[in-house]
Amino acid sequence: MIALDKHTSLLFFLLCVWKFNAIESSPPVVLWHGMGDSCCFSFSLGAIKKLIEATLPNIYVYSIRLGNNVIEDVEHSYFGNINQQISQVCEQLSKDKHLKDGYNAIGFSQGAQFMRAVIQRCPNPPVMNFISMGGQHQGVFGLPNCGALGNNTCSYMSRMIKYGAYLKLVQEKLIQATYWHDPYQEKEYKENSIFMADINNELHINQTYKDNLQKLHSMVLVKFTNDTIVWPRESEWFGFYTPGQGTKIQTLEESDLYRTDRLGLKILHKLGKLYFLSSPGNHLQFTESWFVNNIIKVYLM
């Protein structure tokens, strides 16, 4: 009788622990902000962090910051060497013991392609679900708005990119040049882009990149249907201008990247791990309820 009681209470105890763990077990989340933004502004990623925490109590949310404070973080979103920044982020994430069993990653705008580079280059700790909010996975051809930069700096930057995007000096100092994709100069792009052409396996195939992407549970690409900031907005779904001109768009499936499967996206797609979502409105102009219902409750729980 007593033995049975012990058994029952042990079972009950285990059940409680299991239930408790089930409630507590949303994996941690890592965020990477976009151009002109920072880890922690209350009107941008600070609010996203709060929203995730409010929806999934006790979750650990880490928002990537480069530099010693938010001002430096904003500067680093325009200036510096992106490959060095990605290495720094890999180091930050590998040292964070909350993340050691894996995490879900959300990148915002350019932060989405940088987050993808982290996934491809630094598989430890592992990423489960990757959510790209308006990321430019085939780069951009146009910078209609430079975020927080004033007009003078913005026009200086646009000129520098237009005339010198593929110069080594510009590639190593100006973040936006590294995902500048000129469809009239595909060859120059593939040979000189130190970032986008590299992570898209354009010049040669890095098998490690393919293998690491295959480890994802899902890759979720969110496109903003009325996006006027990203040119072309199809880049948010890996689409881009058909090489050699600047009006006609080809989708991911029509692209060489997909047909030759240089990056393993076709396999990911066939396995049902690649999701194409759209959100109404302009760049990153999603509502809280859209984010809760389409992202948090589907991919972060």
Contact residue for ligand NAG among 16, 18, 84, 280 (CB under 6 A): 280
Q: Is 42 a catalytic residue?
A: no
Find the shortest distance in angstroms from Cβ 161 to ligand NAG. Answer: 18
Q: How far apart are CA 86 and CA 22, in angstroms?
A: 33
Report the Cα–Cα distance between both ends of the chain, in Å, rounded. 41
Nearer of residues 33 and 121 to ligand NAG, judged by Cβ: 121
Contact residue for ligand NAG among 76, 116, 121, 137 (CB under 6 A): 121
By the rule CB under 6 A, 281 interacts with ligand NAG? yes
Nearer of residues 150 and 272 to ligand NAG, judged by Cβ: 150
By the rule CB under 6 A, 124 interacts with ligand NAG? no
Instruction: Please answer whether residues 74 and 36 qualify as being in contact, where contact means their C-beta atoms are separated by less than 8 angstroms.
Output: yes
Contact residue for ligand NAG among 150, 187, 247, 289 (CB under 6 A): 150
> Length of the chain, please?
301
Q: Is 227 a catalytic residue?
A: yes
Give the interface size with ligand NAG as a residue count (CB under 6 A).
8
Amino acid at 148: A
By the rule CB under 6 A, 151 interacts with ligand NAG? yes
The verdict on whether omega for the bond into residue 123 sits within 30 degrees of 0, i.e. cis, is no
Q: Is 96 a catalytic residue?
A: no
Nearer of residues 40 and 148 to ligand NAG, judged by Cβ: 148
Contact residue for ligand NAG among 8, 208, 214, 293 (CB under 6 A): 208
Is beta strand 249-250 parallel, antiparallel or unpaired with respect to 29-32? unpaired
Q: How far apart are CA 236 and CA 229, in angstroms?
A: 11
Nearer of residues 209 and 240 to ligand NAG, judged by Cβ: 209
Within 122-275, residue ranges assigned H as helices are 151-164, 168-171, 186-192, 196-199, 207-214, 256-259, 265-270
Strand (E) or helix (H) holding 2: helix 2-24
Residues marked active site are found at: 109, 227, 283
Question: Which residues are at the interface with ligand NAG (CB under 6 A)?
Answer: 121, 150-151, 206, 208, 226, 280-281
